[in-house]
Structure 1
């Protein structure tokens, strides 16, 4: 599932710009315009990461960080116009994970968010989770999410998709995919692979004429698009 973010910013225009950009990047985004509202949402929604302005009405960003740290180990990125090194140290010492000084680009913010989320995941989780374009594929839970929405797949469809997505660009024959999906039970089912691929493309919204995810390599088999 796509990470859930809480963006806390009292400047309405900036809040809207950040939220719009991060939604386009595929995140689930909640927002708050003051410290008290941020804490209420943090307690009820349990975000994976908080992007938090230092100067806020009702409660300061520093106070919000302190209280969030009493209930959650989520990632926290402080955003502020304060550039003094001592301010950065204070923010990090009370529990923030990263610090971004205004003005900043939305692209840099997105990169910082992704980097922090990668650090927060354990090594075992990273090995069992594939991120391909707007898809999140969890081997451990046998789940696939597209733009934060779960895609319902059969066990065979999931194994085929995971096999392809684990090695983008690598071509698999129909027989190889069936062996991966059905193990010793694949004999006699090779001709069914095209049906599984059609079902996968339909569920993923993949245009057969110009597939984004599962591409046909005529005379050989299928591959997961490297651009994904």
Structure 2
């Protein structure tokens, strides 16, 4: 476990909340980054790689759910969603989308700190998945959200990009169909393997990857897929 202070990114458009959390978190010994909107938050997450993100759902430029979806394309850093919306369906939606916890406003600071400590117990030891893949032919830049094949930009749909980057984050390891469906389509689609087959087929076409002699995407029949390294 790391002995350096954990870095927490707070993304919230309310100046009072940002100031309150900045003071409270620094008093607990954390390093703090502050963002007032989605764009600032994603930029700081990509460049500073915080250990945890406190993310408001109601942001001025984009919904927090959209920010979470973008973040989950390239990182599994813990995310605690913060919102005035206290309906059960909102909490379920956030957790299904990949949030690790959900706290409603107004909140007690001691409870929030306890939840943050729980999320940070599994803090990375520096083995965070790489944000860029480059083998000389294929470049996948997960910070810039760019894919380049043999020097030319490759246009991928949102789902194609999500499948590709999920496999790259687990490069060399088998990723099951159920895991991919749950992470990308959501918990209610874990049996919809035909969605995945269609997306992988289109990905192979765009990459020029022969399923019989794969360079990058290998099928493990009936189980899942593996990104070859």
Structure 2 length-normalised TM: 0.52
How much does 1:119 deviate? 4.0
Query: Equivalent residue for 2:121?
Result: 118
1:1-228 equivalences under 5 Å are 1-120=4-123
Structure-2 separation of matches of 1:104 and 1:60 = 20
CA RMSD of aligned residues (A): 1.2
- Which structure 1 segments of 5+ residues have no match? 123-228
- Which structure 2 segments of 5+ residues have no match? 126-229
How much does 1:59 deviate? 1.5
Aligned residues: 122
Structure-1 separation of matches of 2:109 and 2:20 = 9
Q: Any idea what the Cα deviations from partners look like across 1:61-82, whole Å, max 9, x if unmatched?
A: 1001001111111000000011
Q: Any idea what the Cα deviations from partners look like across 1:92-128, whole Å, max 9, x if unmatched?
A: 0111000001110112111110011114568xxxxxx
Q: Which has the larger radius of gyration?
A: 1
Structure-1 separation of matches of 2:105 and 2:31 = 23
Query: Equivalent residue for 2:139?
Result: none
Structure-2 separation of matches of 1:22 and 1:65 = 22
Structure 1 length-normalised TM: 0.52
